[in-house]
């Protein structure tokens, strides 16, 4: 892919300043060139295909709204009884700042003040390779934009849990050609932050060697950390986590970017073992 692209590293925590970097995608890695003022990111493809879904019903009940000390929010998914998956950039105050915005509460299946389950954040893990300033200006560490959180209680058996599926090259090739499983996304978008919206049936359009991919799911700020997932039988598998948005020379938002599960699958296994957690807790 050639040409210049603006890159907005998520910044789904509302009310925080967001910076957008201009990049050029070269050989599967985007190189930052300059910083420009942020705008409201509306990365829709043709028109807005999002719809409201019943957040009390699985799999939507496993997706929740994550609050931070700043009052901002991101989206996240229950992937073990006491573990939530989200995006690393959500934990920082924005504009490349290394100041931590501490996560406080997670509301699974949140819907206009009601929720399926609530828990407090006991601890969290952000990859040591992730740096908010580098993530703002370069895509060299895009594949590290993920995080895990340990909740103070088991809610997974109430909400239901999604599993992680590390994609194979063959599956990614099929996804780009539109011959693989149907992908969906769900999160708490900026324009409807109190009600879960979902885009069902959105495509992967390109994947990269840093374990990220571009997709055409309709998302806004607030959707950062939300899952991109597929269904196999009655099981739902996360294949990516919403991360950033790219813009072309015409000022149009071209692609949304997700970190694919290959980037964090092994780290998740280590995280579970280190914290003595299991899928049966």
β-pair partners for 255? 246
The overall average pLDDT reported for the chain is 84
The CATH number given to 4-274 is: 2.40.10.10
Average pLDDT (53-62) is: 97
- Res. 116: pLDDT tops 60: yes
For residue 220, the model assigns a pLDDT of 86
Q: Kind and range of the H or E element at 254?
A: strand 253-260
The full set of domain ranges for the chain reads 4-274
pLDDT of residue 180: 97
Query: Token digits for 270?
Result: 């280590």
Q: Which residues contact 185 (CB under 8 A, 6 or more apart)?
A: 198, 199, 202, 215, 217, 219, 223, 226, 227, 228, 229, 242
Does the pLDDT of residue 173 top 90, yes or no?
yes
Give the number of other CB atoms < 10 A from CB of residue 219. 32
Q: What is the model's pTM?
A: 0.86
Instruction: Give 19's pLDDT tier (boundaries 50, 70, 90).
Output: very low
Distance CA 111, CA 222 (A): 15
The residues facing 74 across adjacent strands are: 66
Query: pLDDT higher for 160 or 5?
Result: 160
- Tokens (6 digits) for 262: 């290959």
């Amino acid at each position: 892919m050639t040409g210049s692209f603006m890159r907005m590293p998520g910044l789904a925590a509302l009310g925080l300043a967001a910076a957008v970097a201009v990049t050029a995608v070269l050989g599967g890695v985007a190189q930052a060139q300059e910083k420009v003022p942020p705008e409201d990111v509306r990365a829709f493809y043709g028109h807005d295909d999002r719809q409201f879904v019943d957040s009390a019903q699985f799999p939507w009940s496993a997706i929740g709204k994550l609050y931070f000390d700043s009052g901002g929010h991101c989206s996240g998914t229950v992937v073990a009884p006491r573990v939530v998956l989200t995006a690393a950039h959500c934990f920082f105050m924005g504009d490349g700042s290394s100041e931590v915005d501490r996560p406080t509460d997670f509301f699974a299946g949140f819907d206009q003040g009601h929720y399926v389950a609530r828990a407090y954040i006991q601890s969290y893990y952000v990859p040591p390779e992730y740096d908010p300033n580098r993530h703002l200006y370069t895509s060299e560490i895009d594949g590290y934009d993920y995080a895990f959180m340990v909740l103070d209680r088991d809610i997974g058996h109430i909400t239901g849990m999604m599993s992680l599926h590390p994609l194979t090259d063959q599956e990614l090739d099929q996804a780009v050609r539109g011959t693989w499983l149907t992908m969906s996304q769900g999160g708490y978008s900026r324009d409807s932050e109190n009600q879960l919206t979902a885009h069902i049936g959105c495509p992967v359009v390109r994947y990269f060697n840093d374990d990220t991919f571009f997709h055409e799911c309709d998302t806004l700020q607030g959707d950062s950390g939300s899952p991109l997932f597929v269904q196999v039988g009655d099981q739902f598998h996360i294949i990516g986590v919403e991360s950033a948005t790219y813009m072309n020379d015409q000022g149009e938002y071209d692609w949304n970017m997700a970190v694919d599960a290959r980037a964090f699958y092994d780290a998740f296994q280590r995280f579970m073992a280190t914290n003595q957690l299991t899928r049966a807790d």
